[in-house]
């Protein structure tokens, strides 16, 4: 990137659902489930890059109008019912659609690394009422960036990915498939409830423990680094991680790579050996509940695994030790765990007035980590009519200890990891992360 990227906002409009036939009532609402309420109360932003040919902005808006008629929640607003419970108002108020331009060539100004300039390619994440925001930024060479933000309380990454694919289908005039499953009443607690697991200190905590907001700006001390791991490197890593699994299934790419990264970050942070470090790992419940919930379920259905270890043991023990901790922690988040959570959230969490531990405002996680895997999301299936995106990437979101794994845009089986660390620790991480010890 040799020039400064100057983004000019051309217009900002509201796009509402367009119905064929009779429009539904705009006084209906959808209650948030226990999985919606326990997740991050914030917008998440992603960026798609397309080279010509690209659809017109009018095509984008028409596609949005069509797909919002099926995904009405996105066109609604968050609110409360008469009991004070959190709901989504299906009032068709609409989503924000911003048109923007850059008077430069894409390859001259577009940052392909996680830099602050990316924030100019999507609407602001704070302060707006809209649950979805879109910004289409066109470069003078014909390339285009689609910046997309969505409120996490409405849907998780899996469901949001399905929506995005459907938007592409609607824009190019294709049949929208699969249709969303929008029954949020399926997670009913048992009678009597069975609290098989402890959820306080994991998904929930006391209000007294909520961190006070920092009065100083730590963001300037944090860097977001993109690390690239080749398919060959990952194959070697998996073989090493699974070396002691003689009779068991080898560890997955995610488990093996995360074990390696956990150890690398812990070394780079130079933590005291007696400290405990843990990872917060997102676990999709769709296939873990019995019977399974269909993949087209629209909403949140994620809990977390929390592998933990003493720093000295994590570093001194070989890679299979960390891989087993991760594998076993994820395996524990099974059907029984999800059912226990549903019961706990509906009863004990309410009785004790607990709040979620998921907090997007927490910008320093050390000595811990938080990781999301987008390795199985259909990131490159968002086709608006001109083909797959050239590049997909998350926006700039500096939070020390946050990691995101996704398939490389090269699409050769390699993996990209976005990791946020203090700048003082980053150089050490870069030197460690490509070494398989």
Of 325, 341, 329, 309, nearest to 39 (Cα)?
341
Q: Is 152 a residue of the active site?
A: yes
Q: Which of 117, 334, 359, 383 is catalytic?
A: 383
Residue 383 bears catalytic tag = yes
d(CA 220, CA 116): 11
Show the beta-strand stretches assigned E in 16-107.
Answer: 29-31, 43-50, 77-80, 86-89, 95-102
Identify the active-site residue in 152, 158, 199, 327.
152
Helix (H) or strand (E) holding 402: strand 402-407
| DSSP track, 169-196 | HHHTTPPP-SPPB--TT--PPPSS----
Of 390, 369, 367, give the one whose Cα is nearest residue 380.
390
C-beta atoms surrounding 182 within 10 Å: 15
Cα–Cα dist 99/8, whole Å = 9
d(CA 385, CA 168): 7
The Cα 209–Cα 207 span in angstroms is: 5
Query: In terms of DSSP bridges, do strands 308-310 and 276-284 run parallel, antiparallel, or are they unpaired?
Result: antiparallel
Distance CA 168, CA 132 (A): 15
Burial class (CB in 10 A: 0-12, 13-18, 19+), 27: exposed
In whole angstroms, give the CA distance from residue 61 to residue 56. 9
**Tokens encoding 123:** 């609407």
Determine the straight-line distance between the first and last CA of the chain, rounded to whole angstroms: 35
Active-site annotation, residues? 152, 383
């Amino acid at each position: 990137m040799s020039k400064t990227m100057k983004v000019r906002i051309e217009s900002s409009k509201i796009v509402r659902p367009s119905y064929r036939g009779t429009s539904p009532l705009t006084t209906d609402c959808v209650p948030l489930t226990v999985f919606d309420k326990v997740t991050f109360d914030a917008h998440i932003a992603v960026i798609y890059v397309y080279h010509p040919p690209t659809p017109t902005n009018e095509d984008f808006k028409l596609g949005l109008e069509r797909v919002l008629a099926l995904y009405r929640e996105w066109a609604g607003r968050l609110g409360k019912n008469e009991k004070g419970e959190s709901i989504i108002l299906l009032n068709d108020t609409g989503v924000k659609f911003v048109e923007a331009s850059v008077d430069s060539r894409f390859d001259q100004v577009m940052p392909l690394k996680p830099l602050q300039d990316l924030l100019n390619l999507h609407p602001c994440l704070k302060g707006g009422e809209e649950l979805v925001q879109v910004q289409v930024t066109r470069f003078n060479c014909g390339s285009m960036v689609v910046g997309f933000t969505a409120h996490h309380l409405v849907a998780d990454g899996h469901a949001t990915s399905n929506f995005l694919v459907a938007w592409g289908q609607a824009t190019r005039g294709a049949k929208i498939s699969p249709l969303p499953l929008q029954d949020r009443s399926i997670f009913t607690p048992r009678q009597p409830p069975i609290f098989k697991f402890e959820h306080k200190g994991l998904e929930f905590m006391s209000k007294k423990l909520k961190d006070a907001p920092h009065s100083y700006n730590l963001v300037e001390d944090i860097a977001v680094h993109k690390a690239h791991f080749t398919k060959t490197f990952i194959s070697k890593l998996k073989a090493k991680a699974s070396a002691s699994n003689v009779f068991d299934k080898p560890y997955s790419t995610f488990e093996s790579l995360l074990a390696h990264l956990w150890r690398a970050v812990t070394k780079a942070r130079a933590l005291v050996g007696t400290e405990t470090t843990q990872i917060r790992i997102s676990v999709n419940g769709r296939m873990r509940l019995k019977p399974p919930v269909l993949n087209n379920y629209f909403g949140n259905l994620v809990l977390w695994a929390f592998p933990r270890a003493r720093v000295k043991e994590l570093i001194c023990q070989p890679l299979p030790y960390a891989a087993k901790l991760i594998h076993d922690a994820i395996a524990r988040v099974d059907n029984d765990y999800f059912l226990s959570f549903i019961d706990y959230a509906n009863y004990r969490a309410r009785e004790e007035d607990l709040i979620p531990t998921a907090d997007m405002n927490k910008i320093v996680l050390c000595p811990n980590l938080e990781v999301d895997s987008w390795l199985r999301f259909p990131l490159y299936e968002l086709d608006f009519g001109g083909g797959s995106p050239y590049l997909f990437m998350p926006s700039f979101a500096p939070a020390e200890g946050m990691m995101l794994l996704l398939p490389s845009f090269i699409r050769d089986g390699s993996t990209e990891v976005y990791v946020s660390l203090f700048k003082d620790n980053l150089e050490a991480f870069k030197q460690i992360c490509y070494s398989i010890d």
